[in-house]
């Protein structure tokens, strides 16, 4: 407790060296004094003993949440999380795990190829019963994950329950340094297009990207698709280097502006590019953020690529890490970034949060017009707007529950027990007989789900009754209630195409890993099909990158 108070006093003393006027410093000192006084009184007089680390830790987290979601404190025991975010590396067994609600335990969802979990023999569907003798049933997947991680070279014993086996199985696994590849897959698509899936901006991802481009050009690629969908970003320097692969040396890619001089920087391309002429399509979606938006936005502003997909997330903030006392780190927002046209893509205004703690979104009516290198109009705020937005259907409520309740996952596990092999990802599909087995399986486990429309109708009914209109709308409401009753047979038939695709995806990765899953999904990818169309239409591609005259 004394250490906590001394730490608070130290912060108070250091605060007087911070920049700002006297009034601001006086307010800061006053509030820190109040905080210190409250901690002291609680420690002396509260009926039970308080735990300083837990109490102050929660206070720090609550304070930082008042700023933005990206400013986070990592105490010494959580430094590995920060390291993994920036490097993509951690020490463990190398597997995706999920909490199985129905079994109330964590399961192996996908062992990474070539990693300790796979080498030891763990399979998707294995239910983790214990780790080093400690029962993990009912434990959260985060807690299980912490137990699986450790120093490289150390060993652990995992006991699992495997579907189809009568007794549990124990595996002794040696932890290793796990480096998740930022470039998950690259290959030739339909003869002449080099497809590259980039999932993160961790250390050396630009080198992997360069290698992919060079090898694809050797294989005959004359144009490229860079897939940044669901890529939440990462290191800014790596983003600049990736843009540098396709644009000349000396181009300004991004500018950062913050409160202090050290936060104001201009990032330019430093090397000679490897390809400035091949057409490029960049695929984005609502989860494309941060460094991903720098790459997509810079290539758009420099008229070097066509952007295809959904509007991106809109994160125009830059974070830096600062070492704090006792081995911890503070990751904090220190600047905003601006791409070549001069625009900032930040969509949410964290300085004006509404009553429930949510931030307000910049409305399109208040965004400003900027121009690309050729003069095309682009806007700030609200992320990167694609040049082409293919229409994609929303996933149904049924599909959400099939994934959430792990019905697809469990059926795939059972399928793998019965089938030793399947066709290649380029050819595999769910047969009618397999789909019939799946529908029978759902009925066998009494699968059910709630229609969102039925929930909305229930709330509407309550409002109608509250307003005294129940009697005159009774017949209509009852008719709607009957029609909205969940009809599983109808839904399984109506959404069969989408269900077959998701079921096939789950099955394929059991046999061919992540690479097989990617290859299969490319077959039905609407955005990728649109990219293929525009990259093979020279006139259409050039037209998209040329300013259009308006009357």
Tell me: pLDDT of 221 over 50.
Answer: yes
The phi and psi torsions of 503 (rounded to 5 degrees) equal -70, -40
Tell me: pLDDT of 439 over 70.
Answer: yes
As a whole number of angstroms, the distance between CA 408 and CA 417 comes to 15
Residue 274 DSSP class: S
Token pair listed for 184: 């998950």
**Confidence at residue 16, expressed as pLDDT on a 0 to 100 scale:** 47
For 99, residues 6+ apart whose C-beta sits below 8 A from its C-beta are 105, 106, 107, 140, 141
Sorted by where each starts, the structural domains of the chain and their CATH numbers stand as 2-66 (no CATH), 89-179 (2.30.42.10), 183-379 (3.90.226.10), 397-449+486-533 (no CATH), 452-483 (no CATH)
Q: State pTM to two decimals.
A: 0.86
**Confidence at residue 354, expressed as pLDDT on a 0 to 100 scale:** 58
* 3-state class (DSSP) for residue 380: coil
**Confidence at residue 353, expressed as pLDDT on a 0 to 100 scale:** 66
Tell me: pLDDT of 25 over 60.
Answer: yes
> Does residue 251 carry a catalytic annotation?
no
pLDDT confidence of 396, banded at 50, 70, 90?
confident
Tell me: pLDDT of 13 over 70.
Answer: no
Tell me: pLDDT of 12 over 50.
Answer: no
Task: Choose, from 315, 331, 387, 525, the residue flagged as catalytic.
Answer: 315
Task: Choose, from 126, 301, 387, 410, the residue flagged as catalytic.
Answer: 301
pLDDT confidence of 287, banded at 50, 70, 90?
very high
Token pair listed for 413: 């596990």
pLDDT tens for 440-495 read 999 999 888 776 776 777 788 788 888 888 888 888 877 877 776 667 888 899 89
On the 0-12 / 13-18 / 19+ scale of CB atoms within 10 A, 245 is buried
**Confidence at residue 9, expressed as pLDDT on a 0 to 100 scale:** 44
As a whole number of angstroms, the distance between CA 292 and CA 297 comes to 8
**Confidence at residue 308, expressed as pLDDT on a 0 to 100 scale:** 98
User: Which long-range contacts link 432-435 to residues 24+ away (Cβ below 8 Å)?
Assistant: 434/503, 435/496, 435/499, 435/500, 435/503
Tell me: pLDDT of 211 over 70.
Answer: yes
pLDDT confidence of 340, banded at 50, 70, 90?
very high
Read off the pLDDT of each residue in 373-391 and give the average, rounded to a whole number: 94
> Does residue 257 carry a catalytic annotation?
no
**Confidence at residue 6, expressed as pLDDT on a 0 to 100 scale:** 45
Read off the pLDDT of each residue in 139-164 and give the average, rounded to a whole number: 93
Read off the pLDDT of each residue in 365-375 and give the average, rounded to a whole number: 91
Q: Any idea which of 172-186, 346-360, 402-416, 418-432 has the lowest mean pLDDT?
A: 346-360
**Confidence at residue 57, expressed as pLDDT on a 0 to 100 scale:** 87
As a whole number of angstroms, the distance between CA 227 and CA 466 comes to 51
Task: Choose, from 290, 292, 380, 387, the residue flagged as catalytic.
Answer: 290
Mean predicted lDDT score pLDDT of the chain: 89
- The number of C-alpha atoms within 13 Å of 396 and in the hemisphere containing its C-beta is 19
pLDDT tens for 158-201 read 999 999 999 999 999 999 988 888 999 999 999 999 999 999 99
> Does residue 301 carry a catalytic annotation?
yes
């Amino acid at each position: 407790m004394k250490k906590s108070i001394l730490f608070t006093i130290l912060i108070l003393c250091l605060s007087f060296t911070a920049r700002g006027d006297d009034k601001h410093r006086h307010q800061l000192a006053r509030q820190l004094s109040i905080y210190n006084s409250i901690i002291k009184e609680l420690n002396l007089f509260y009926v039970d003993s308080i735990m300083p680390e837990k109490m102050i830790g929660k206070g720090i987290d609550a304070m930082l949440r008042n700023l933005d979601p990206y400013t986070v404190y990592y105490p010494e025991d959580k430094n590995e999380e920060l390291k993994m975010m920036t490097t993509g590396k951690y020490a463990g067994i190398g597997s995706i795990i999920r909490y199985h609600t129905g079994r109330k335990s964590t399961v192996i969802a996908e062992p990474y190829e070539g990693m300790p979990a796979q080498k030891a023999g763990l399979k998707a569907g294995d239910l983790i019963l214990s780790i080093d003798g400690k029962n993990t049933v009912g434990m959260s997947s985060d807690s299980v994950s912490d137990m699986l991680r450790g120093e490289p070279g150390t060993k652990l014993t995992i006991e699992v329950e495997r579907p189809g086996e009568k007794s549990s199985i124990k595996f002794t696994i040696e932890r290793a340094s796990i480096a998740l590849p930022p470039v998950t897959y690259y290959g030739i698509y339909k003869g002449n297009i080099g497809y590259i899936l980039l999932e993160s901006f961790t250390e050396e991802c630009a080198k992997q990207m360069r290698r992919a481009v060079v090898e694809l050009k050797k294989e005959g690629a004359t144009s490229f698709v860079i897939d940044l969908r669901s890529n939440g970003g990462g290191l800014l320097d790596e983003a600049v280097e990736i843009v540098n692969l396709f644009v000349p040396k000396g181009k300004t890619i991004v500018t950062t502006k913050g409160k202090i001089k050290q936060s104001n920087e201009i990032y330019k391309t430093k090397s000679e590019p490897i390809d400035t002429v091949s057409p490029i399509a960049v695929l984005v979606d609502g989860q494309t953020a941060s460094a991903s938006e720098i790459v997509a936005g810079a290539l758009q502003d420099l008229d070097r690529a066509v952007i295809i997909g959904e509007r991106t997330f809109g994160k125009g903030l830059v974070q830096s890490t600062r070492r704090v006392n006792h081995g911890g780190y503070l990751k904090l927002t220190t600047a905003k970034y601006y791409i070549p046209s001069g625009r900032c893509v930040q969509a949410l205004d964290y300085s004006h949060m509404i009553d429930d703690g949510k931030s307000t979104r910049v409305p399109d009516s208040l965004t400003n017009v900027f121009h690309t290198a050729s003069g095309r109009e682009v806007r700030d705020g609200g992320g990167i707007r694609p040049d082409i937005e293919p229409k994609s259907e929303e996933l149904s409520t049924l599909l959400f529950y099939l994934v959430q309740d792990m019905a697809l996952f469990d059926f795939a596990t059972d399928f793998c027990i019965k089938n030793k092999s399947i066709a290649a990802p380029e050819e595999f599909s769910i047969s009618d007989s397999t789909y019939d087995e799946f529908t029978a399986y759902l009925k066998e486990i009494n699968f059910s789900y709630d229609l969102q429309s039925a929930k909305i109708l229930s709330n509407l009914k309550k409002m109608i009754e509250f307003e005294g209109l129940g009697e005159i709308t009774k017949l209509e409401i009852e008719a709607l209630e009957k029609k909205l009753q969940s009809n599983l047979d109808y839904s399984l038939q109506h959404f069969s195409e989408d269900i077959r695709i998701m079921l096939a995806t789950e099955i394929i990765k059991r046999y061919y890993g992540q690479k097989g899953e990617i290859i299969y999904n490319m077959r039905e990818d609407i955005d990728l099909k649109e990219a293929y169309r525009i990259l093979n239409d020279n006139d259409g591609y050039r037209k998209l990158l040329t300013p259009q005259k308006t009357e």
